[in-house]
């Protein structure tokens, strides 16, 4: 401590004595700053000026005394040694001053003790200060922790593993409905109340932590309240390890999570109910769609036959109107099928790089007559950027957006344009239509949602176009954004990645090929007699011989020779499928009979099965031109394959 600067407040009426005291400290190597006072007023003023390191007081002065000085010292709550130095002092007086709060006393004739005594008292003072600071810090920490625990509504516990006793805080006790007093300090107060299904998990979590296998103790469990109910608790804790590496104590908190658990369970029940409802709806729609497509398929075939038979008849116009109505119905069914196929995940993008102008020009050419029919202008801005996408699926997105724009625009026009956005190209379809308000904007990509069509006028669409856009957008990872102002139009932007060069072009369709003469016999396999009859009638009108059957067993009976091809419904009676029937016929005749699956199924699971079979698939209702084209392609491809290699026909069910 020598070398430090000490501030000394000397209470003495003798200036020489004050100088002598200061000299003792200087000789010991201290720097000294002193002030001498000899009355109460001066001492109060000095204590108010600054904090002093030491107060040294004489016992008796004409107007003051050590007892008076000590009283003022205590009143000011000074935190420094108070040492009495006197020429003569009685034992009784010395004891009285020490009891009153003085730290030491000594005689002026023995000042050699002054510096060591002061150093000892300074050390003790610093020790007291350190303890006080530690106590204050501990108290503040405990208060903060207690406040945090109260704020979090948590109960606290502290388990002495050596004595096997646990302290439970008042909040812990209250959480379980105990009276105000402690319910006990043994572990069984806790563990015997835990739900029997949760005891193992609680003990395993505790053992894992005490065994050093987990850094913290944390577990959720049920515990019985005093009223008999079960409460969910989250208990967390941390172990204290002694020098031997053995856990000696573990303490932590307990949080009541009953409300959260009940909400979680209710959410889980609601989710399960919703999933069951969605599954039931999906099954219902798939079944209803299948049952609806069957008679519609027959109606389509019969209407086509009527058109051929009544070409010059006065009823031909009526048949044409009937065909147009069927086209609208088929559009609805096909849109539902598109949604089902996308939800089933059976649509696989075929990415390529190509100039976006090829898609924009095609969409513009297809949609311009629709726009002009409403007196609207449709303009396509030139763009030579090369993009990477599936041209067919991207074209479907743009057609749906443009068709939607035409439908909701009465005056002005539609602009299809592009703008670069970093490494992407934003393809924008802008219209001057009715716009979309903020409330509707969050629903426009939902199935069957339409803006400004409460009467469900089918001329305004089906409400599935944008739902298909949303699904294709996710499939292709081409984000779609919308900007709209009610009464001033809307802008839909599709973000597509750009590319440096385009892929070699490949044809995506097969030209129509005339049927052979004679075309041969086709087996129509369908368990709906009117559908099989309608398809057979259409095939006969094209020059085919036909045989119909409702099951595999019937087909084996009526078919004497391998048919030229098979038209098979996917779903037959008794859980059989058209694929199974074709496989059996191939085996029976030892011939790779080509076939087409014609199905009314739209369920996601059934769609996956059909796609995985690698079959040629047409979805009911099949328009005559589509059926004719598929047959032409199938028969042409099978004729070009040598008989010994025909089993490898790419679209057939592999044996």
Domains of the chain with bracketed CATH = 5-129 (3.40.50.2300), 153-256 (3.30.450.20), 352-497 (3.30.565.10), 521-648 (3.40.50.2300)
End-to-end CA distance of the chain: 101
DSSP string of 226-268, one letter each residue = TTS-EEEEEEEEEEEE-TTS-EEEEEEEEEE-HHHHHHHHHHH
Please report which confidence band the pLDDT of residue 506 belongs to, taking 50, 70 and 90 as the band edges: very low
Please report which confidence band the pLDDT of residue 214 belongs to, taking 50, 70 and 90 as the band edges: very high
Structure token digits, residue 16: 């020489």
Across the beta sheet with 489-497, the strand order is 377-380, 413-421, 424-431, 489-497, 480-485
- pTM of the predicted model as reported, rounded to 2 decimal places: 0.39
Radius of gyration of the chain (CA): 48
For residue 138, what is the DSSP state? H
pLDDT of residue 134: 85
Per-residue pLDDT at 360 exceeds 50: yes
Nearest to 297 by CA among 513, 621, 655: 621
SS3 readout for 182-221? CCCCCCHHHHCCECCCCHHHHHHHHHHHHCCCCCCEEEEE
CB 627 within 8 A of CB 538: yes
Which range is least confidently modeled, 35-49, 229-243, 331-345, 551-565? 331-345
Give the separation between CA 225 and CA 233, rounded to whole angstroms.
11
Average pLDDT of span 268-272:
88
Please report which confidence band the pLDDT of residue 215 belongs to, taking 50, 70 and 90 as the band edges: very high
Any idea how long the chain is?
655
Structure token digits, residue 325: 């109505």
Per-residue pLDDT at 185 exceeds 60: yes
CB 519 within 8 A of CB 498: no
Average pLDDT of span 75-87:
91
For residue 523, what is the DSSP state? E
Give the separation between CA 380 and CA 402, rounded to whole angstroms.
11
CB 235 within 8 A of CB 206: no
Cα dist from 520 to 467, 563, 630, whole Å: 43, 8, 16
């Amino acid at each position: 401590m020598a070398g430090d600067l000490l501030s000394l407040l000397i209470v003495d009426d003798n200036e020489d004595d004050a100088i002598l005291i200061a000299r003792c400290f200087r000789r010991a190597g201290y720097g000294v700053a002193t002030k001498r006072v000899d009355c109460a007023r001066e001492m109060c003023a000095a204590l108010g000026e600054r904090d002093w390191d030491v107060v040294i007081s004489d016992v008796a002065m004409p107007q003051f005394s050590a007892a008076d000085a000590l009283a003022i010292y205590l009143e000011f709550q000074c935190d420094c040694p108070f040492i009495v130095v006197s020429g003569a002092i009685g034992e009784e007086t010395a004891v009285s001053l020490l009891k009153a709060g003085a730290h030491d006393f000594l005689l002026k004739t023995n000042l050699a003790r002054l510096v060591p005594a002061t150093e000892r008292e300074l050390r003790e003072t610093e020790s007291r200060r350190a303890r006080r600071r530690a106590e204050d810090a501990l108290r503040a920490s405990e208060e903060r922790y207690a406040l945090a625990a109260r704020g979090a509504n948590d109960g606290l516990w502290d388990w002495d593993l050596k004595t096997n006793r646990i302290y439970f805080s008042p909040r812990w006790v209250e959480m379980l409905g105990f009276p105000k007093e402690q319910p006990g300090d043994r572990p069984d107060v806790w563990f015997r109340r835990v739900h029997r299904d949760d005891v193992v998990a609680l003990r395993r979590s505790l053992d894992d932590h005490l065994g050093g296998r987990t850094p913290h103790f944390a577990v959720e469990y049920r515990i019985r309240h005093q009223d008999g109910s079960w409460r969910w608790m989250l208990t967390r804790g941390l172990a204290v390890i002694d020098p031997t590496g053995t856990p000696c104590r573990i303490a932590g908190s307990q949080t009541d999570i009953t409300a959260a658990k009940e909400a979680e369970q209710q959410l889980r029940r609601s989710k399960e109910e919703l999933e069951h409802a969605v599954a039931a709806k999906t099954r219902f729609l798939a079944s209803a769609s299948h049952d609806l497509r069957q008679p519609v398929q027959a109606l389509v075939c019969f209407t086509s036959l009527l058109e051929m038979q009544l070409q010059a008849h006065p009823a031909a116009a009526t048949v044409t109107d009937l065909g147009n109505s069927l086209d609208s119905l088929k559009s609805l069914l096909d849109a539902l099928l598109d949604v089902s196929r996308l939800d089933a995940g059976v649509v696989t993008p075929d990415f390529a790089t190509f100039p976006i102008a090829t898609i924009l020009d095609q969409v513009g050419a297809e949609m311009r007559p629709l726009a002009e029919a409403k007196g609207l202008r449709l303009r396509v801005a030139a763009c030579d950027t090369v993009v990477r996408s599936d041209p067919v699926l991207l074209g479907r997105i743009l057609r749906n957006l443009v068709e939607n724009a035409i439908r909701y625009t009465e005056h002005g026009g539609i602009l299809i344009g592009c703008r670069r956005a970093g490494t992407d190209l934003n393809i924008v379809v802008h219209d001057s239509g009715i716009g979309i308000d903020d409330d509707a904007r969050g629903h426009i990509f939902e199935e069957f949602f339409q803006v400004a069509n409460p009467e469900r006028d089918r001329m305004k669409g089906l409400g599935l176009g944008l739902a298909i856009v949303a699904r294709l957008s996710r499939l292709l990872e081409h984000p779609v954004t919308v900007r709209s102002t009610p009464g001033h139009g809307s802008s839909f932007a599709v973000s597509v990645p750009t590319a440096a060069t385009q892929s070699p072009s490949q044809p995506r369709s097969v030209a129509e090929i005339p049927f052979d003469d004679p075309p041969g016999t086709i087996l129509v396999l369908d368990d709906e007699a009117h559908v099989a009859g309608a398809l057979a009638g259409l095939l006969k009108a094209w020059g085919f011989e036909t045989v119909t059957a409702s099951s595999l067993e019937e087909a084996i009976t009526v078919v004497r020779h391998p048919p030229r091809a098979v038209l098979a419904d996917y779903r037959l009676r008794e859980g059989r499928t058209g694929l199974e029937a074709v496989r059996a016929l191939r085996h029976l005749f030892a011939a790779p009979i080509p076939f087409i699956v014609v199905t009314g199924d739209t369920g996601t699971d059934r769609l996956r099965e059909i796609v995985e079979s690698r079959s040629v698939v047409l979805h009911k209702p099949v328009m005559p031109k589509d059926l004719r084209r598929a047959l032409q392609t199938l028969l042409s491809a099978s004729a070009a394959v040598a008989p010994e290699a025909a089993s490898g026909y790419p679209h057939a069910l592999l044996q």
